[in-house]
Amino acid sequence: MTHYDFTFHGAALTAFASGALYWAAERLLVVSDLHLGKSARMARRGGGLLPPYETRATLERLDADLEASGARRVICLGDSFDDLTAGTELAESDRLWLTRMMAGRDWVWIEGNHDPGPGTLGGSHLAQLQLGPLVFRHITEAAARGEVSGHYHPKARLAGQSRPCFLLSDPARLILPAYGAYTGGLPCSAPELGGLMGPGALAILTGRVVRAIPFSAAAQTSPRSSSFSR
């Protein structure tokens, strides 16, 4: 199965195998934590060198999801760029590609902790957005209800393989996986995630086959430590 349909706070949503979220009634595609320009940022700051292909790989995935879904609206849930400078250092071909995807669509950039301010690209730049019963922001809040967020890059282990996952605790919060290439992850066993998930919470694992399992099971099978850039 390449997607998983579910209802969250009264909204009928679909989790894609890629890590994108689709709200058909709104023709809305939601992605989080693209971290475009991560390899360039690491090189600029003297960190470890990564092959500079993550931006293109992420844009390819996003383009395919836009084409498949027919989305007319897009929300990027923060940390779209690995820092504010990365947004200005995109290769011209990547900038043109992204601009083409944005054309004719209502595109919203939510501020993240890596990119806390308006960028140079078009679209709307907001701290958060309320749309119908749902509110979209980068980092979950304690009193969340109908909240869609990102930031934590959740991962779960199944059959010995670690996979990015959505975390669903209806009606409080839905946490998206990191969409970008070269993004690490936080295992479901981490106390930061366990404290956010209520009874009956699910982990919706992405990958070739999308599968939902109880969050409690995901927390038990995930390793105790991992790394990602918050």
Asked if residue 141 belongs to a domain, the reply is yes
Q: Are 177 and 165 in contact (CB under 8 A)?
A: yes
- Average pLDDT on 70-75 reads 98
Half-sphere exposure of residue 153: CA atoms within 13 angstroms, side-chain side? 21
Contacts of 181 (CB under 8 A, 6+ apart): 53, 54, 57, 58, 61
Q: Return the pLDDT at 198.
A: 95
Asked if residue 229 belongs to a domain, the reply is no
Coil, helix or strand at residue 95: helix
Asked if residue 10 belongs to a domain, the reply is yes
Q: Output the six-digit token pair for 181.
A: 């290439």
How many independent structural domains does the chain possess? 1
* Antiparallel, parallel or unpaired: β 154-158 and 129-131: unpaired
Asked if residue 71 belongs to a domain, the reply is yes
Q: Are 180 and 34 in contact (CB under 8 A)?
A: yes
Asked if residue 227 belongs to a domain, the reply is no
Q: Are 137 and 150 in contact (CB under 8 A)?
A: no
Asked if residue 161 belongs to a domain, the reply is yes
Q: Could you report the per-residue pLDDT of 130-149, keeping only the tens digit for each? A: 999 999 999 999 999 999 99
- For 21, the enclosing helix (H) or strand (E) is strand 21-23
pLDDT interval class at 168 (50, 70, 90): very high
> Count H helices, E strands: the chain?
6, 16
Work out the angle at residue 225's Cα, subtended by the Cα atoms of residues 223 and 226, and round it to the nearest 5 degrees: 105
Q: What b-and-e string marks burial along 185-210, b requiring 16 or more CB atoms within 10 Å of the CB?
A: bbbbbbeebeebbeeebbbbbbbeeb
Least confident of 57-61, 117-121, 206-210, 213-217: 117-121
Reference 125, options 116, 135, 134; nearest CA is 116
Q: Are 117 and 130 in contact (CB under 8 A)?
A: no
The values of phi and psi at residue 93, to 5°, are -65, -40
Any idea what the CATH number is for the domain that residue 138 is in?
A: 3.60.21
Percent of the chain clearing pLDDT 90 (strictly above) = 65
Asked if residue 61 belongs to a domain, the reply is yes
| Domain interval for residue 57 | 3-221
Q: Could you report the per-residue pLDDT of 105-123, keeping only the tens digit for each? A: 999 999 988 776 666 788 9
pTM above the 0.85 mark? yes
Contacts of 136 (CB under 8 A, 6+ apart): 30, 75, 77, 108, 110, 128, 129, 130, 147, 148, 149
Asked if residue 230 belongs to a domain, the reply is no
